[in-house]
Chains A and B, each alone.
Chain A
Amino acid sequence: MTDTRPAADARAAADPRPAADPDGSFPDPHDTIQQLADSVLPALIARLDASGLGELEVRADGWHVRLRKPYDRRRSVVLPEGRRRPHEHGDAGHARRSEPAEARRAGRHDGPGIDDPRAVASDARPEPPAIATAPAVGYFAPRDGWGPGRHVRSGDVVGYVDCLGVRQDVVAPVDGFLGRLLAQPGEAVEYGQPLLHVDLPVARGSGPTERTADGGGTEAGTSAASEPAGPTRNGTEAETMGRPDAAQADKPGPPATAADVPERAVRSAPGARPEGA
């Protein structure tokens, strides 16, 4: 690999020229590419993401691939006492958590496991909330009247950052429910700073489901699941992620106060994610 120029984002470059197998035959490049795209790359990306490393290079028969994570915010600076922390929203939610990608990730079982500290190796794995971040440097204001527990759709304006008198929208990165405020109203925020949680709707699979349907018992920060009331659906996770049941918002059950909103939702379908498996 002679190319030393990184791209602006994590990228993968597969050498298109297959190497000869020991017996002199070449692997079918289509198979190789298929395999790379379907299983190897997603697994490697997840592994790189969880490792804290900046670069990963893997060689195998007929291909080699290098992944590079150029400017990961999680490799954060060691900060002196009293210094403002740069944001650290590199992994949780953020706009990069696109729904189709998330659904694909969730539906795949064939990759190797990763050492994702977020992933709990049990049937009940907490799904970290997505995070809406500051679109500019300025003063933060949450959206009037939009309290925790409110159902939001990806792209909804959930707050503002006043940048020199110009109001810039803070948008929900995913469909879900407004969670905890991570910055105080009126606080000075930097670009990309996490401002509020958007808790993900809970997916249901075939496994047992913990729920707090009464809407009053769950403390924020516990790992108990909270599923807004509604009929239990056996829809796939992809469906749940991509199209939360619109009816949910109209049911009487959804939590309405901060205390009612779980810090983390529990994914109850065993084996729904490859990580930690």
Chain B
Amino acid sequence: MFQKILIANRGEIALRILRACRQLNVPAVVAYSEADIDTLAVREADEAICIGPAEAKRSYLSSAAVISAAIVTGCDAIHPGYGFLSEDDAFADTVRAHGLTFIGPPAEVLERFASKAATRRLLAEHGLPTIPGSGLLRDDAHALDEAERIGYPVLVKPSAGGGGKGMRMARSPRELEQALPICRSEARAAFGDDSLYLEKWLEENRHVEVQVVVDRYGNGVHLGERDCSVQRRHQKLIEEAPTPALGPDSRRHLCEEAVGAIVAAGYENVGTLEFLVDNDGNYYFIEINCRIQVEHPVTEMLTGIDMVAEQIRIAAGEPLGYSQADVEPRGHAIEFRIAAEDVAHDFRPEAGTIVAYLPPGGPGVRMDSHLYAGYDVPPFYDSLLGKLIVHGPDRRTAIARARTALSELQVEGVPTTTALHRAILSHPVFLDGNFTTNLLDRVGPGAFVTAAREQVRVEA
């Protein structure tokens, strides 16, 4: 096991990693930017080190600052969390070159899966059904040809990164021509890489992902799937497991196929394979996330496995120590992302001081958040304030617990998405589980926003 771990992230995930380190009895150092000195992980940490100014490029995204911080504080491993440097193979390589361990897949594994187009090809060779798509687009003419071959509508996607940035749907050559320059500039701004590819757009689909854990010795298990279909403009709002879209047999089949392919492709550490599921229950692999994900607690609630601890153990070279038969997902879990966003104003991210914070409690309720009363939410980073996760023996109980928990949750000082979640929870389409990624767009976020506003008014 490691001597000391540098946590190179912020917000709720920095706190989450700190907790895992403590439980593993490994000292940890929290690396933070100037804007984050008051964040809970920094307060809680035995040791913290300022690595740069608020600007992420010069702090959390600065490979030199992060590695230098690890060296001067005597760490022998770096946990990158999610986002920032978490899937950067060049960073992982530099970390190793300095004699440190990157907690995540090794550099060559990250490199192998860095290109989404190449990953789809690779996993298709290992038997995963993939969605029809293009290779990397050379230019607009190439894009138009490929779109014609795949058939409209198509989704333009950046090859680097994820999180829905730089993605646009196009229903016609005209729309595609308009979308390409926008996607290119968004991708360049977000990931420093403007290469794009196309994917067939399924009008009605669900977003289902499979969680896998693979050790260095080729032992791999899946920890079940998660349904992340409640999205707004490709940003996940609610994740749950098991997916209401597939029956037990289809779910098992999907998960087994996913873990089989990824182990065969030489993956290591925790990872997530994302699939689109159409109305007939067909699934298509779309991409892989080589890191811990925001929604990992859903799986933790179901399996009882601490996935951050697993990441650390595997990076330290420990064998998995259990087999698929030992993994027994129980019940139903739902996660709600609580973000500092003004739902009524196009989900505008907000910053400000948290005046009051009261997390919910009770059986099957978990709140992963870095909030406290008096905390200043800085404007420089992601708007995620925390995650409310509920667990129950079945979906109905989980939803009932979620209702109670969402009404208990109190965050004052910045607008949050809490009321929107309450509105979604009372929508019949969500309740019967028969929704697709269009839920918000089709029913109209307007409807939810209105409902959310009503709720706010009632509470006020």
> Does A87 contact B352, Cβ atoms closer than 8 Å?
no
> At the interface, yes or no: B414 with Cβ under 8 Å from chain A?
yes
Query: Would you list which residues of chain A between 179 and 221 have a CB under 8 Å from chain B?
Result: 188-193
Q: Name A residues whose Cβ lies closer than 8 Å to a Cβ of B.
A: 4-8, 54-55, 70-71, 73, 75-78, 80, 82-84, 86-87, 136-139, 163-164, 166, 188-193
Residues on B with C-beta less than 8 A from A70 are 35, 376, 378-379
Question: In the complex the two chains form, is A137's CB within 8 Å of B72's CB?
Answer: yes
Cβ of B371 < 8 Å from any Cβ of A? no
B64 touches A73 (CB 8 A): no
A87: B residues at CB distance < 8 A? 50
Given contacts A77-B37, A193-B50, 4 further A-B contacts (CB under 8 A): A6-B352, A6-B379, A136-B64, A192-B34
Interface 9-mer from B41-49, B131-139, B192-200, B392-400: B41-49
A54 touches B353 (CB 8 A): yes
The DSSP consensus for interface residues of chain A is loop
Q: Is B261 an interface residue (CB 8 A)?
A: no
Q: State whether A5 touches B379 (Cβ < 8 A).
A: yes
A139 to B72, CA, bound (A): 7
Determine the distance from Cα of A132 to Cα of B423 in the docked complex, in whole angstroms.
53
Residues in A whose Cβ lies below 8 Å from that of B73: 188
Is B439's CB within 8 Å of the partner chain A?
no
Inter-chain contact A137/B49, CB cutoff 8 Å: yes
With an 8 Å Cβ cutoff, the count of chain B residues facing the other chain is 35
Whether A190 contacts B38 by the Cβ 8 Å rule is no
Is there contact, CB below 8 Å, between B46 and A71? no
User: B50 near A138 (CB under 8 angstroms)?
Assistant: no
Q: Is the CB of A137 within 8 A of B379?
A: no
Question: Do A190 and B49 touch across chains, with their CB atoms under 8 A apart?
Answer: yes
- A139 to B71: give the CA distance in the assembly, Å: 10
Contact assessment for A71 and B72 in the assembled complex, using a CB-CB cutoff below 8 Å: no
12 sampled A-B residue pairs with Cβ under 8 A: A4-B351, A5-B379, A7-B379, A70-B35, A73-B37, A83-B45, A136-B68, A138-B72, A163-B65, A163-B68, A188-B73, A190-B69
A166 to B65, CA, bound (A): 11
CB contacts (< 8 Å) of B378 on chain A: these are: 70-71
A191 touches B42 (CB 8 A): no
CB distance from A90 to the nearest CB of B (A): 10
Contact with A along B380-395 (1 / 0, CB 8 A): 1000000000000000
Given A164-B67, A164-B68, are A191 and B353 neighbors across the interface (CB < 8 Å)?
no
A8 touching B68 by the CB < 8 A rule? no
Q: Does B51 reach chain A (CB closer than 8 Å)?
A: yes
Contacts of A138 in B (CB 8 A): 68, 72
Q: How far is the CA of A73 from the CA of B48 in the complex (A)?
A: 14
Residues of A contacting B380 in the complex (Cβ-Cβ under 8 angstroms) = 8
**Could you tell me if B72 and A76 are in contact, using CB atoms closer than 8 angstroms?**
no
Task: Kindly state whether residue B52 has any CB partner on chain A within 8 Å.
Answer: yes
- Which residues from A are CB-within-8-Å of B414? 4
A83 to B47, Cβ gap below 8 A?
Answer: yes
A253 and B53 alpha carbons, distance in the complex (Å):
40
Measured between C-beta atoms, what is the minimum distance from B177 to chain A in Å? 35
Q: Could you say which residues of chain A place their CB within 8 Å of the CB of B352?
A: 4-6
**In the complex, what residue of chain A is closest to B414 when comparing beta carbons?**
A4
B144 adjacent to chain A (CB < 8 Å): no
Interface string of B88-127 (1 = CB under 8 A from A): 0000000000100000000000000000000000000000
Most B CB contacts (10 A, CB to CB) among A6, A71, A75, A82 go to A71
**Contact at A137–B69, with CB atoms within 8 Å?**
yes
The answer, yes or no, to whether B368 is at the interface (CB within 8 Å) is: no
